[in-house]
Amino acid sequence: MYFKILVLVLALPFLLKANDAMKIANTFDEQDLAEIPKFALEVEDDGKSNKVAEEYKRTLESDGANSKQSFAKLSLKLAKMHVLEEILRKKKAISSLSDTVNGNSKDKCSKIVKVGEPIVHHHSGSTYGSWMRDPLGLLGPGKIWYMNSYYGNKVLEFESMDHFKAGEISKTYILPYYFDGTGAVVYGRYLYYNRANSYYIVQYDLTTQKLTRQVRPHSSIKPRTYYYQWSSRNTMDLSVDESGLWVLYSYSSYSGKLCASQLDPLTMSTLRTYCGISSESMKTMGNAFVACGVVYSIDSYSSTTTTINYAYDTARGSKINPKIKFINRFGYNSMVTYNPREKVLYAWDKNRQITYPLEFED
């Protein structure tokens, strides 16, 4: 329940600009309030209404419509109707988001039993990089964010997969700090990434295009000391699953074996931490990701056929070698992350942006 409430809190600042709405809403009289239920019935399926246009026409045709007083009343009336329209539209958006959260509830989780053949969506960029969709779909369910290479300060946004394949960029973000590695994620309205050559995770607001906070999830983390096999600068690899936001990292006390900390996506405070949860050092590991509260380690980033050779269940404290076949078709898989809404893995394998379908236990 906490997670569901948290997601809605994440969404609300984006879904409704409360201050602007309340300034107008506070001017509603009893007649306006009485019209709300009736107005709701008149809103069309696409969230728009003809009522505003009808009201405008009716007021202009009335006597004295050219007077300053009538114009002021008309403006206020139209503003109120726009606010009502917006409130109803946002209410539908929150309801839809709630359905998504319920559908992705960790109560419905199970373990991965098979990783399917990789599906290539595009061939672009450098050997290394990251690409992703927001598991909540808050800024648009089809939007794609793209970060070329393992060091830089630009994030490209695409409206849909078709726009991505056509190279049609809708927005370019210039980050306040350069990023390290290929472990960034978008979650709700925020981009989370490892600030270059530092032990900080940056929370960057995609709607305001401003840094909101940066934190050090563990005091023992040292930048560019422990990372995956391919020397990725992935000091910290972020991941999102059905239970929220995670960061994967390592430090010397556990001989370089993996640690996973779950973070509060709003405050960035650490909720819980699990360490020593891999069979090998992060430096000899191909990649890792979190799905349904289980941390999965991939043995190699370059072998055409490798395996997920370790899985640690954070809920039960159990560990196994699932021996799940995993294919690095192009021989240089620099990024693997899970999307709980789509139930697939996103990956970047030598200039190719790909996904892997997953099969879970019944």
Instruction: Kindly tell me the burial class for residue 282, based on how many C-beta atoms sit within 10 Å of its own C-beta (0-12, 13-18, 19 or more).
Output: buried
pLDDT for 231:
78
pLDDT at residue 354 is higher than 60: yes
Instruction: Kindly tell me the burial class for residue 117, based on how many C-beta atoms sit within 10 Å of its own C-beta (0-12, 13-18, 19 or more).
Output: exposed
pLDDT for 108:
75
What are the CA-CA distances from residue 60 to residues 71, 104, 252, 270, 353 (Å)? 9, 50, 75, 58, 55
Residue (of 156, 159, 196, 157) closest to 176 by Cα position: 196
The Cα diameter of the chain in Å comes to 83
pLDDT for 143:
98
CA 317 to chain centre: 27
What are the CA-CA distances from residue 295 to residues 128, 212, 289 (Å)? 22, 28, 6
The tokens 């995670």 sit on which residue? 246
| Amino acid code (one letter) for 224 | R
CB-CB contact of 257 with 276 (8 Å): yes
pLDDT for 237:
97
- Angle, to 10 degrees, between the axis of helix 68-103 and the axis of helix 18-25? 130
CA distance 258 to 248: 7
- Edge-to-edge strand ranges of the sheet holding 237-241: 237-241, 244-249, 259-263, 270-275
Tokens of 37: 């239920």
| Amino acid code (one letter) for 108 | K
pLDDT at residue 183 is higher than 80: yes
Give 362's pLDDT tier (boundaries 50, 70, 90): confident
Average pLDDT estimate for 19-37: 52
pLDDT for 346:
98
Chain segment 232-282, per-residue pLDDT in tens: 788 999 999 999 999 999 999 999 999 999 999 999 999 999 999 999 999
Other beta carbons within 10 Å of 223: 17
- Of all residues in the chain, the percent with pLDDT exceeding 70 is 70
What are the structural domains of the chain? 1-104 (no CATH), 112-360 (2.40.128.630)
Return the ∠ at Cα 251 (arms to 269 and 151), rounded to 5°: 75
Chain segment 36-81, per-residue pLDDT in tens: 555 445 544 444 445 545 554 555 455 454 555 555 666 666 666 6
- Secondary structure of the chain as H, E, C letters: CHHHHHHHHHHHHHHCCHHHHHHHHCCCCHHHHHHHHHHHHHCCCCCCCCHHHHHHHHHHHCCCCCCHHHHHHHHHHHHHHHHHHHHHHHHHHHHHHHHHHHHCCHHHCCCEEEECCCEEEEECCCCCEEEECCCCCCCCCCCEEEEECCEEEEEEEECCHHHHHHCCCCEEEEEEEEEECCCCEEECCEEEEEECCCCCEEEEECCCCEEEEEECCCCCCCCCCCCCCCCCCCCCEEEEECCEEEEEECCHHHCCECEEEEECCCCCCEEEEEECCCCCEHHHCCEEEEECCEEEEECCCCCCEEEEEEEEECCCCEEECCCEEEECCCCCEEEEEEECCCCEEEEEECCEEEEEEEEECC
